[in-house]
Amino acid sequence: MEEYFKAVKVTENVYWVGAIDWSIRNFHGYETGRGSTYNAFLVLDEKITLIDSVKGPFVGELLARIRSVIGDVTKIDYIVSNHAEPDHSGGLPATIEAIKPEKVFASPVGQKTLTAYYGDLGITPVKTGEAISIGKGNIAFVETKMLHWPDSMVTYLDSEKILFSQDAFGMHLAGSRRFADEYAPFILEYEGRKYFANILNHLAPKVIELLDALPGLNLDIQMIAPDHGPIWRRPEDIRWILDLYRDCAMQLPKPRAVVAFSTMWHSTERLAEALADGIRSAGVEVKVMDLHVNDRSAVMTEVANCGLMAFGAPTMNNQVFPDMADILCYVKGLRPKNKIGFAFGSYGWSGEGGKQIAAELTAMGAEQPCELFQVKYMPTAEDMKRMFENGEKLGRLLLERVK
């Protein structure tokens, strides 16, 4: 029995009973250098309610935290499953078996998804506009389809004025502190932007729809409790995370550039350095990222927060270098908008790699004001000069765009 796990009081009647995953470093392709949390919340009322579950291996931790508050887990009457992805629902079957609740609620699509994963769990479907009374409080349901799965929904507890926002407004951040105001702002900004870039960027229009719809829902939100990362409990912090999400979702170009490259014998690396120096000389902040030491999620985080993205790689076996192919596939799937793009590279025989990069930038809808630049074997002094000039030109164009 894992009885050393204790719940954390959120309000007088709400407790955090989730789990901390200190060790996770890869979340389906997203590098999670600071780990993560799987947040679940226990609501004390006439009908004791559990909001969300945890990843399968952490059920013991969840149940121990619940017992630290109410002793017997079978006192729980209701479970709400806001999202069926296994990092939240993986522990749901075992949780249901231990608790034996009267009802388990999920969205209509959530019911189907949970059934597909685990068989019939006796889920009661609920739609936007529906609510359940738990005594002094009511829990209202709002479907948020494609934020970020078709089954997703958020729930609002009126008695405590808490929005349980599932994967929205969260981040992958393990820690012993449960509230956002207990963390350094630079950590929250980096992890918040990284989370949006790698989980929600391709769903930006849906995020804007949700942000625009929130005032019309007439919810007095005084706390936002996501399923990953810290809880937002101060008015200024709630405004901050909502503004951050709107900024990310608008995808307006920023005076920043990222130059991501692969290299075999340093030819493409030299081109990247010349290009970056040209961009910098135009007055644009630039980050150079060697794909040998930077993972795809770090690159995407920079891409989402810039106005100019340049990708360079050599050709190998008549194809773009493999780690660049991986990055381009990943970035394209997350649908960055309003970007200036630039493709470059080096080759020894055939030169398909750079052409494939340029084609992928076209598929992303990136404007390419400078044509593909490739060199054979090693760049000459003239090649380096031309790359510097390309950087200057691209930097100036970006600054004109963001005025």
Candidates 52, 87, 160, 269; catalytic one: 87
Q: What CATH number labels 258-396? A: 3.40.50.360
Report the distance separating Cα 257 and Cα 280, nearest Å.
9
Our answer to whether residue 202 is catalytic in this structure is: no
Report the distance separating Cα 400 and Cα 294, nearest Å.
30
HEC secondary structure over 177-242 = CCEHHHCCHHHHHHHHHHHHHHHHHHHHHHHHHHHHHHHHHCCCCCEEECCCCCEECCHHHHHHHH
Our answer to whether residue 183 is catalytic in this structure is: no
Our answer to whether residue 182 is catalytic in this structure is: no
Report the distance separating Cα 403 and Cα 395, nearest Å.
13
Candidates 61, 83, 88, 151; catalytic one: 83
Candidates 21, 143, 167, 323; catalytic one: 167
pLDDT (tens digit, 9 = 90+) per residue, 254-305?
A: 999 999 999 999 999 999 999 999 999 999 999 999 999 999 999 999 999 9
At the top level of CATH, the class of 8-250 is alpha beta
Enumerate the CATH 3.60.15.10 domain ranges in the chain, comma separated: 8-250
Report the SS3 class of residue 347. strand
Q: Are 338 and 251 in contact (CB under 8 A)?
A: yes
The residues, any chain, with a CB within 8 Å of residue 214's CB and separated by 6 or more, are 221, 242
Determine the length of the chain: 403
Q: Which two tokens stand for residue 207?
A: 């995020």
Work out the angle at residue 104's Cα, subtended by the Cα atoms of residues 100 and 108, and round it to the nearest 5 degrees. Answer: 155
Our answer to whether residue 181 is catalytic in this structure is: no
Predicted local confidence at residue 396, as pLDDT = 98
Candidates 15, 148, 156, 237; catalytic one: 148
- pLDDT in 10s for each residue of the chain, 403 residues: 567 899 999 999 999 999 999 999 998 888 999 999 999 999 999 999 999 999 999 999 999 999 999 999 999 999 999 999 999 999 999 999 999 999 999 999 999 999 999 999 999 999 999 999 999 999 999 999 998 889 999 999 999 999 999 999 999 999 999 999 999 999 999 999 999 999 999 999 999 999 999 888 889 999 999 999 999 999 999 999 999 999 999 999 999 999 999 999 999 999 999 999 999 999 999 999 999 999 999 999 999 999 999 999 999 999 999 999 999 999 999 999 999 999 999 999 889 999 999 999 999 999 999 999 999 999 999 999 999 999 999 999 999 999 8
Cα dist from 323 to 175, 260, 354, whole Å? 32, 11, 13
Our answer to whether residue 266 is catalytic in this structure is: no
Cα dist from 23 to 18, 170, 174, 276, whole Å? 16, 18, 9, 35
Q: Which two tokens stand for residue 71?
A: 């002793």
Enumerate the CATH 3.40.50.360 domain ranges in the chain, comma separated: 258-396
Peptide bond into 148 cis (omega under 30): yes
Candidates 195, 245, 330, 347; catalytic one: 195
Our answer to whether residue 195 is catalytic in this structure is: yes
* pTM of the predicted model as reported, rounded to 2 decimal places: 0.95
